Structures are given as structure tokens and as C-alpha cells.
Structure 1
């Protein structure tokens, strides 16, 4: 049965965060924590997971210990907590005031203490925790504890002795990305009872999903930047590609910076800080970038190649629109992405290959589908969504699907009869009956497959080949040719069908619907409030969103409060922020 919060809890919610009520399952999770019940909560990114331990930390006696995987993420959450008047600190290798933090903990002067799993699992840290009351253990990014999870971290497996040393302290495991296997593993590894699992759902309705074949990545990405003026992240598959795209896209006039593990640590830190503080910058990065960023106003996430899995895709696209405003997730994919991915699967430990292959097949189904993208995503995580969502490319512009089984059989037959050693360009010549010198020398103009594809079918050869490579029915050879793989023989025998999405005809540049700007109605008061927020953020050395989110500024511009009491009723303005910023924002409102 769902638990509800008392009036005291609602009063603390309003006073600390400026919220008049909870969202989704927040109330149930907070109520369980306050009742001392260990809980594992699977909540979508942007659903307010941090509030579920920050609010109890303010209300309970003692310190809430937050175990988090990345220093950057801890420091980001530290800024936001401190801005709301929560007494918080981090204890990491990057901190120079560790003794002051330890003294504050022992004196009972901390509501929150953030720490990495590597330090949390050490005996000396357990001794430190024995010197003062601990109210709660919050394990963030809890999927890292599971070998089933896509971001497995061995140090998370070492946390159980620490938790068991404090049997009376409740445990709260939090994640946005966990399938059924991972959820069960989290409970087992962290000692949380099965009835403590709360799954809020995975839907992010404010994100518009779009997946497109990659034909000219640079041109396509430039178009995405034009359509989305706010902050964005572009994920590239390699460090070299990151550098190349950052340089090319930066030449457009938009501020674009690179981020990957090969950069000097000082450069990485500088680029990350610039992105977090910016209101329009784009970061081109490998997947090394993102988990440590809690930036709520990212307006788009683009993939210049396929992610590792649907779980990875969900987590990476989930970095867009955490503030609840409209955001876009665009993936550009090519057949070569899947070819490389299937090669990598063959290189992993044998006991993991089957599950990795399943993950790749699930990703191929997502990119190939003509059905609702969101429905595919949500079904992957065990949900039963509606057939359409109205906010993905296939729902907004339904694609045409055609049965390409016969054309696929012709292509696969040509691959087989030419010796499984030629690339698609050569195979297209054979199939369409183009007899050049190479074809004649090899005698392939006398094969039964020579010239069996007519002019009307020929334009579909590339999308059919792309689909077959995504499914693993065509695999690359060592020298760049194509060979049969997967279920190719079943297709050749007529035992399996192949349906593909018909590529739309390329027309003149068509303006896509962007993810929406911060100020969709061009309100001058909103821009004035935003300017003040930017100035305050620069003065205090914090990102603008730590002051107020765009949604709070829009409500402020609409309501035009004339007093501090009226301003205090706006969502997102707690007592600490009202005291710190209320008069300054009221002054701007009076001037307009």
C-alpha cells in the first residue's frame, strides 16, 4: 500500500525546496525512508531522485551518507543542496578540506555527506561513521552494483559489509536504469527486502525521440544545432571523432567543446565547468561524459553513432530535459556501427556473449522499427505502454513499411554466389547488371544473380543491406567485404521475412520541430530575469540553474509577484532562496 506524507513533511518540502507537493512516487519513497524502511526506487531521470534522500536528511537526526560513483556528480549535487540551505559536504580525493568535513560530521553539523564507493568500502570510513549518528544510506546510481547492469562497478559490490555494520540505518538504492534482472540483483546485493522495491516507470514524456540513418553526419548534426538553440550533448563513438566533430561544429559560430578521457584532466575539468555554466553550449563527448552531470536544462542529446545498448541509450538520452521542459533525443546510425558492435561482442567473455548479443538485437529492433519508439523503449523495461506516444518521429511522421524479403534473398544470394568477400558497391553492380572490368574478370556477369534487381528495386538495396547488417545477417569480412551471418540462411530458405522502413525521398531543407526554447513566447520580463540570474550565478561561481530553473523564471514572469510572500508561493523557491534572491528579482519585476 502506498504511504503518504504527513503535514510536517509537506511543510518541510515547501520550506526547503519551494514545492507544494510531491511528484510521482517521491511521496511514497520519502514516507518509507522516514519510517525507517529500506527501499530501492527505480525512477526516471528528472523525476527528482535526489529529493527522496535530501528531504529526509533535513528531517532526521544524524547524517545521510550518499554513495555516488563520480566526484563531478557529487560536487554538482552539493551545489544544489547548499543553495537550498541543506548542510552538505563531500569527502573525496579532490577535496582539500577533508579534516574540516570530518570534524563537522563528528559534531553533527552535516545533513548530507557524499562519498565514493571506493572510500565507503574501507574499514577506516566505517570507523568514522561509528563516531556520530547516521540517519540513512543513500546509494545513487545503484545499477552499478549489478553485473547485469550496463555500468557495473566492482566497488559497489563491497558496500554490503558497511551497510550491515549499521543494521538500524535504512538503505535507499536509487537508479533510473534497471531492467528486471538488475532490479533483483540490486535488492540482493544491498540487502533490501523484495517488498521495498518501487518502480515508478521509465517514461520521459517531455523527450522527443528520433532515429535516422546516418548519411552525412556533419551536415545532419549542423541541422540539429540549428533546430535546438539550448545546451546540448553530442555523443561520438571515438576520441578522434569527438575532436573532429567539435572542431567542425565549432566553426559554425556555436560554442562547441570536446570531452574524452584522452584530454588532459585540467582541460576536461575546464570544458565540463564551461558546459555546466552555459545556457547554449554544446559538448561533443564520448560516453565518459554525462553521468557526472546533473545539468537540468540540456535541451538535446544527439548520438553520432549507436550506443552500447538500450539501457545505455535510455540513460544517455535521459540527460536531456531533466527540468521537465521539452527536449530532443536524436540518434544517427549506420550499418558499420552494428558491424563493429557485433565484432566486439565476439571478443567478450564467452559467458557474457549471449546477453550482449540480445542487447544488441534489442537495439537493432529499436532503430529499425516503424512503430512508436517510446513504446519499444518502455516494453524493454517491462512496461505496457500505449501503442503510440505522439512525441517520437514515427508517431509524428508515420513511416512507410515494405516487405523486402525477396530483395533481401537476392542480396544474400549474391553475397553467397560471389564468394562472401565483396562490399555492397560491387554487389549492387552485379545485382543491377552493370558489367564492368572487375565483374567480367571474375565471371560474375554469368551468375544467376547478375541483373536480377530492376531499376525500381535498386534504391532499396542500401536500406535492405543496412537492415540485414543491423540484424547480424550480413557481417563484415576482414578485408571489407560482406559475408552471411545470423539468420541469413533462414531468410534465403524463405523461413524468415524482412520488412524495412522505406527511406523518405530527400526534399529541400525541411524545418524540423525543435525542442523548444527557454522563452517560447519571447517575454521581455523573462529575459530580464534570466539576465539577473546569469549575473548572480557568475558572482557566486555557480551554474545559473542552481539559482532558479527556467520553469521558475517563467512562472515568476507570468505571476509578477509584488511581495516576498507572493514570490514564496512560486514553485522552486524555498525559504533559503527567497531570502537570498527574492528582493533582487522583485526589483527587476518592478522595473518592467
Structure 2
């Protein structure tokens, strides 16, 4: 493709497959970086149009394949289905892919004229010898266009804990030195950006970052200790009241499977259309719940944090955290699943000093200190939005009165006893 005519041709492809008349801010720069063979780190808010940035490049050539690394099998399948909707040939290679299908994909790539434009896989499956062999062949004959690391914050957050395969993505640059790597995420502090770049061995990456401000989200924090008598039943009653006042669908996040089951059951008893979603459910049940929620036939999903990652549900109207997230990056990512259509929505966080103390005890390794940032957001007075943006390096946002939470005196005393930051009078 002639780089001089690049923008015009890219817009034509955009219109043909997605029906959009033009690009959003930073999209064109990100596409040009990949097409010019440059590594990139792209940070755009949830709903900012990241998927187009790795789906479009291979469409610029007759025979070109881009590999997309995703954290979850369900996310890969969802992406493949969405590619089919916009007439893009895509496939997935993962632990659930049959050997027959893997052989077919491998043969197709090795032939030198791949029929697929996108191959979705996971960090673990990317190490499969047959897939690696096929991709090396594609690189040598010029058919391999790029590697895209979706939800790239997982490199920093999961690689050092339960997904070591994320750290092994560092071998991509060793094995495919001439193939550009594009890392995409909605949340990354400067430290996380550095971790992503170093782990993936990005070479002078083009860094593109949009604003972290999700202006349509109203942020609320509800302190458990001062909700009536502070018991789980009192907090649950408060949640029921909130949900009954909402229009549209949403998510309630909880840490434990048992908590998901208990909360979902209580919501159902209160005539709220809800279902529990977690790894204890069968794959079939989880997929059914997810599809019902996306279609709008299910109102509320009570789930562990994996739910919602990459799911295309623009009209999610609320996200509730029954427990605080273990990091502010995680909270931003999860709460950002609401209001991707740009319409007003709400983020509610239930938190207590005991919650924060429990999270603090569980901190380990490179993530030490992350809970303190959550504590500052949840239990100290001030504009929640301003705190979030400041955490990600945006300093010029004005405080908003309706985003400020003021704690009662009993709560302040509990914070002092718990050893966390005691808020000053607002």
C-alpha cells in the first residue's frame, strides 16, 4: 500500500467493513504505526475503538495475517464472531480447538496465501510448536503482518502471578524481529506501561494515549460501616434499592464464587432478574448467561472480575463492586465496562476499612502498594473522578461536587483504628 495515500485507503476499508465515516482520535496514528512496521503501545479508554486497530491492517493486503493475543478463550470466540459480522475471515487457536481444525489452520498458513486475516490465540497456545512453525513460515514469506496484544495490562498484572505465559511473550521479538508488535489496553500507569514495553521488548514504540476521563460515568462510593448497622444483609438491602431504581442492565462484581451465588440468589428473591457467573459454572452455562446479558434478556450478572472483559455490550448502565478491587487499574477497567455507548451510567463501590485491611494482607510481589491507592479512592473525601485521573497522570481535572463522598465521624474513627489514611474534614 502506498503510504502517501494511506489515510484515504484506510477510511475506504473502514467504511466497507464497519460502516464508519471516519476515525476516532488516535486511531489513524495507531494504524499507521503498524503499517509502517513500528512497535506501538496504545492506551485508549474502554469503548475507544481498539479492536479496529488490529483488525484493519491485514485488510490492506491480499495475503496478510495478524495474530491477536487475548487473555480469555471466551473473548477470542467473541472476537471471531464479531469479525464474521463485518466480513473478516478470522479463526482461533486455543486449548478447545480440535486437532483437525489446528491442522487445517496450520496448512492454510504454511501454503503462503492465508485465507484468514486474523488469528486469535492465548499466550499459552501461542507456544504450540505447530502454530509457531506456521507463523515463522508466514514471517519468512511476508504474510505475517503484526502481533497484537489485547488487554496488554495483563502482561504486568498476571505475568508475575498465575499466567507466566504472558512473560514468555518476550520471545516474540526474538523469533520475529521484523514483525511489529502493537500492545493495547484501556488502563496503564507509567509503571505498567514500562513493564509492558520491557516484557514485550518493544523497540522505540509509538506511544499513543487518550484521556482516561469517562465523563458519562458517575462515580459513587458507599461505606459499608455506615449503611444502617453495617451487616451484610443491610448492605444487600442497599444494593437491592439501588438496582430497583436502575433502568437497563449491569454487572455486580464480587471476589468469591460463593458471594456471587449468595448475592444473585438474594437479588432474584427481590424480583431482580439476575444470575451468578463464575468459573464454578459449566462452560455452556457461562456462555448462555453471557449471551442472555448481551442480548438484553438478562438484566443483572453477579460475577467474578473475569466477566465482561472484551464483551461488546455498549449499553451497560451500571457496574457495582460488592468488594473493592485489588488495584485502581482493575477498578477503572471494570467500572469502565459501563456506558460504552456514551450515555449516562453509574459506578458504585461498596467498601469498608475491613475490606481494605483484608486486601492489604493479600498483597504480594510487584503489586505491593496497589491497595493503598484503592483505599485513598474509596475512604478519603474528595472528587472520585479527580482521584482516578490523577492516578493515571492527568492532573488538570476540576473537582465535581456530585463525585465527592464525605464520611461520617464514626467512619473516620474506624479508619484511624484500622491503620489506613484518615480523611480530613471536607
TM-score (norm 2): 0.87
1:101 aligned residue (105, 128, 148)? 105
Whole-Å Cα distance in 2 between the matches of residues 265 and 78 of structure 1?
18
* 1:19 counterpart residue number: 20
**Within 1, Cα distance between the matches of 2:81 and 2:15?**
19
- Taking the aligned partners of 1:56 and 1:74, their CA distance within structure 2 comes to 18
Matched residue SS, 2:396: coil
The alignment partner of 1:131 has SS state of: helix
Matched residue of 1:499: which SS? coil
Q: How far does the alpha carbon of each residue in 1:169-207 deviate from its partner, in whole angstroms, 9 at most, with x for none? A: 211111112111111121122122345222223222222
**SS class of match (2:388):** helix
- Measure how far apart 1:85 and its partner are: 0.9
Provide the C-alpha distance between the structure 1 equivalents of 2:104 and 2:205, rounded to a whole number of angstroms. 39
Aligned residues: 406
Contact kept, 8 Å, 1:71 with 1:292, in 2: the verdict is no
What is the CA distance between 1:334 and its match in structure 2?
1.9
What is the distance in 1 between the residues matched to 2:192 and 2:41? 11
SS at match of 1:173: strand
**Residue aligning to 1:499:** 424
Contact 1:4 1:31 in 2 (8 A): no
Instruction: Give, in whole Å, the separation in 2 of the partners of 1:136 and 1:71.
Output: 20
Determine the structure 2 residue equivalent to 1:71. Answer: 73
Q: CA deviation at 1:367?
A: 1.3
Question: SS of 1:130's equivalent?
Answer: helix
Separation in structure 1 between the aligned mates of residue 145 and residue 192 of structure 2, nearest angstrom: 26
Deviation per residue, 1:349-369 (Å, 9 max, x gap): 5xx4xx52x222211111134
Deviation by residue 1:253-312 (Cα, 9 ceiling, x = unmatched): 332100122334443333233323335521001223232533332221101121111111
CA–CA distance in 2 between the matches of 1:135 and 1:204? Answer: 33
Q: Which residue of 2 aligns with 1:28?
A: 29
Q: 1:360 to 1:73 in 2, by over 3 A?
A: same
User: 1:4–1:28: 8 Å Cα contact kept in structure 2?
Assistant: no
Q: Distance in 2 between matches of 1:295 and 1:213?
A: 29
Measure how far apart 1:378 and its partner are.
0.9
- SS of residue paired to 1:64: strand
Q: Is the 8 A contact 1:82 1:88 kept in 2?
A: yes
1:311-390 alignment runs, 5 A limit: 311-345=329-363, 348=364, 352=366, 356=368, 358-388=369-399, 390=400
Equivalence for 1:300:
318
Report if aligned partners of 2:94, 2:122 keep a CA contact under 8 Å in 1.
yes
Q: Which residue is equivalent to 1:48?
A: 49
Q: Structure 1 residue aligned with 2:176, among 145, 166, 171? A: 166
Alignment partner of 1:131 is 2:137: yes
For structure 2, the 5+ residue unaligned runs are: 228-233
Unaligned runs of 5+ in 1: 402-459, 469-473, 476-484, 488-496, 502-592
- Cα drift, residue 67 of structure 1: 0.9
The answer to whether the 8 A contact 1:230-1:280 is kept is: no
Pairing partner for 1:213 from 223, 230, 238: 223
Q: Determine whether 1:185 maps to 2:185.
A: no
CA displacement at 1:90 relative to structure 2: 0.8
Q: 1:118, 1:155 within 8 Å by CA — same for their partners in 2?
A: yes
More strand by share: 2
Aligned mates of 1:79, 1:292 — CA distance in 2? 13
- Return the index of the structure with the highest Cα Rg: 1
Task: Identify which of 117, 120, 127 aligns with 1:121.
Answer: 127
TM-aligned CA deviation for residue 229 of structure 1: 2.3
- Residue 88 of structure 1 is matched in structure 2 by 90
- Tell whether 2:202 aligns with 1:203: no
Q: How far apart are residue 157 of structure 1 and its match? A: 1.3
Aligned partners of 2:89 and 2:116 also within 8 Å: yes
Q: Secondary structure at the match of 2:342?
A: coil
Secondary structure of the structure 1 residue equivalent to 2:17: helix
Distance 1:68 1:148, change over 3 A: closer
